Amino acid sequence: MSQSTSISRAALVARDAADPLAHFRDCFHIPDNLIYLDGNSLGPLPKRTVERMHQTVNEEWGRMLIKGWTACDWINAPARIGAKIARLIGAQPDEVICTDSTSINLFKTLAAALTLNPGRRVILSTRDNFPTDLYIAQGLIQHLGGGYELRMVDGERIAEYLDDQIAVLMLTHVNYKTGRMFDLPALTQQAHACGALTLWDLAHSAGAIPVDLNGAGVDFAVGCGYKYLNGGPGAPAYLFVARRWQPLFSQPLSGWMGHAEPFAFTSIYEPAPGIGRYLCGTPPILSMAALESGVDLLLEADMQQVRAKSLALTDLFIHLVNMRCAGYGLELVTPRDHAIRGSQVSFRHPQGYALMQALIAANVIGDFRAPDIVRFGFAPLYLRFVDVWDAVDRLLHILESRAWDREEFRRLKPVT
């Protein structure tokens, strides 16, 4: 049931040749014939990361051993990498630190925010927020002995629930399932107007969408390093604390690296000044090195060009799927409006899991989110316009032939 379209593959090849970001593709390891539409879940390997890891393992760890903490400046990696990430999210260098995982950083920042807003007992979020954010909030409330409430509401009506009960507005900037993007500046302003603090999860936006935390007046933010920052599987995360709050909060995970003088080895905790008090344990240097390499590469790109290409790629994908794959049960759930669209496109399909497994077998890698979402991420540094055409070609073939309708594609894997 393919339909004709005015767009041609040849025209897209020409468009790729004129793309100002085209040269970045050669900076990544992309297997031949593979169309990778899952960079919003795990970014591919930058070529320079291989060299950096070789240097860190063989030259630094291998030759310097423990001297690497000072001779190779391992000890300052969290602050150094945090300062680089700050440039991607509209923050000052001393407002971001690279540490731990997104979940742990959310626990730290949420606990701090509640402490800073005494007398209020409600954390406001959405029902479809990323589960770890909701789980961490639930666990923190239990840890505090109750007395707090996690209020989960419809995301499209979130502003209606901002009132004088809300201690913290906790949102993910881009919804992990639908790709819908919140108006971060407007909601931050509305939260502040009713006396609430804001905590934003940037996991699905930083590195693909320009973010200006200070411009919006955000209080706290967290994000991960393994998606659009291309830091590798399980890469360290980061957190942001606005300067105005840094001297005032209480860090719940008071580990030795967050101490004012960790190598004084005193028995009483004294928090480090500024963002450094958000550190906890010893930083994972090998993972930090890989992440720093990915961040350095991203910093070479113009984020306005990245955003423009992201919208162009997702526009093209939506158009081609709707034109060529109509009638096969795909329902678009990602907003068409550029102002509220992230860098992914999601469709519902009654056989979504099997369909995605068939696509992966055809070398188009996206992912599946229960119960019925097939999700495609568009990372502009390495994706081409012709990749979009070819991905839709393979999708159409699978739909037409019902290639997804096989037992091997229905068998649920541990990671979807």
pLDDT in tens, 92-101: 999 999 999 9
Residues 284 and 381 in one domain: no
Catalytic residues: 130, 201, 226-227, 375
User: What DSSP line would sit under 237-274, residue for residue?
Assistant: -EEEE-GGGTTT---SS--GGGBSSGGG--SS--BPSG
pLDDT interval class at 3 (50, 70, 90): very low
pLDDT interval class at 345 (50, 70, 90): very high
Residues 295 and 306 in one domain: no
The mean pLDDT of 365-389, rounded to a whole number, is 97
> What's the distance, Cα to Cα, between the start and end of the chain in Å?
29
Residues 354 and 262 in one domain: no
The mean pLDDT of 351-355, rounded to a whole number, is 96
Residues 129 and 260 in one domain: yes
Q: Tell me, what CATH number does 401's domain have? A: 3.90.1150.10
Residues 241 and 287 in one domain: yes
Residues 324 and 281 in one domain: no
Residues 108 and 236 in one domain: yes
> Which residue matches tokens 């920042």?
109
Q: Coil, strand, or helix at residue 374?
A: strand
Instruction: State residue 251's pLDDT score.
Output: 80
Q: Tell me, what CATH number does 80's domain have? A: 3.40.640.10
Mean pLDDT of the chain: 95
Please list, in sequence order, all residues whose beta carbon lies within 8 angstroms of the beta carbon of residue 97, skipping any fewer than 6 positions away.
78, 79, 82, 238, 239, 275, 276, 278, 279
Taking only the tens place, the pLDDT of each residue in 11-54 is: 999 999 999 999 999 999 999 999 999 999 999 999 999 999 99
pLDDT interval class at 249 (50, 70, 90): confident
Taking only the tens place, the pLDDT of each residue in 125-165 is: 999 999 999 999 999 999 999 899 999 999 989 999 999 99
Residues 310 and 294 in one domain: no
Instruction: State residue 415's pLDDT score.
Output: 85
Residues 398 and 360 in one domain: yes
The answer to whether residue 322 sits within a structural domain is: yes
Does residue 253 have a pLDDT over 60? yes
The answer to whether residue 223 sits within a structural domain is: yes
pLDDT interval class at 102 (50, 70, 90): very high
* Listed residues 299, 319, 353: the one ending a domain: 299
The answer to whether residue 265 sits within a structural domain is: yes
The answer to whether residue 395 sits within a structural domain is: yes
User: What DSSP line would sit under 182-215, residue for residue?
Assistant: --HHHHHHHHHHTT-EEEEE-TTTTTTS---HHH
Residues 181 and 273 in one domain: yes
Does residue 297 have a pLDDT over 70? yes
Taking only the tens place, the pLDDT of each residue in 187-238 is: 999 999 999 999 999 999 999 999 999 999 999 999 999 999 999 999 999 9
Does residue 244 have a pLDDT over 50? yes
The answer to whether residue 328 sits within a structural domain is: yes
The answer to whether residue 52 sits within a structural domain is: no
Residue type (1 letter), 411: R
Greater model confidence, 251 or 149: 149
* Listed residues 250, 274, 299: the one ending a domain: 299
Residues 361 and 262 in one domain: no
Does residue 292 have a pLDDT over 70? yes
Say how many domains are in the chain: 2
The answer to whether residue 60 sits within a structural domain is: no
Residues 267 and 308 in one domain: no
Please list, in sequence order, all residues whose beta carbon lies within 8 angstroms of the beta carbon of residue 408, skipping any fewer than 6 positions away.
357
Q: Which domain holds residue 13?
A: 9-47+302-410
Residues of the chain above pLDDT 70, percent: 99
* Listed residues 299, 330, 349: the one ending a domain: 299
Cα dihedral angle (16, 21, 23, 25), rounded to 10 degrees? -80
Instruction: State residue 58's pLDDT score.
Output: 97
Question: Against a cut of 0.85, is the pTM above it?
Answer: yes
The answer to whether residue 59 sits within a structural domain is: no
Q: Contact 110/137 with Cβ under 8 angstroms?
A: yes
pLDDT interval class at 4 (50, 70, 90): very low
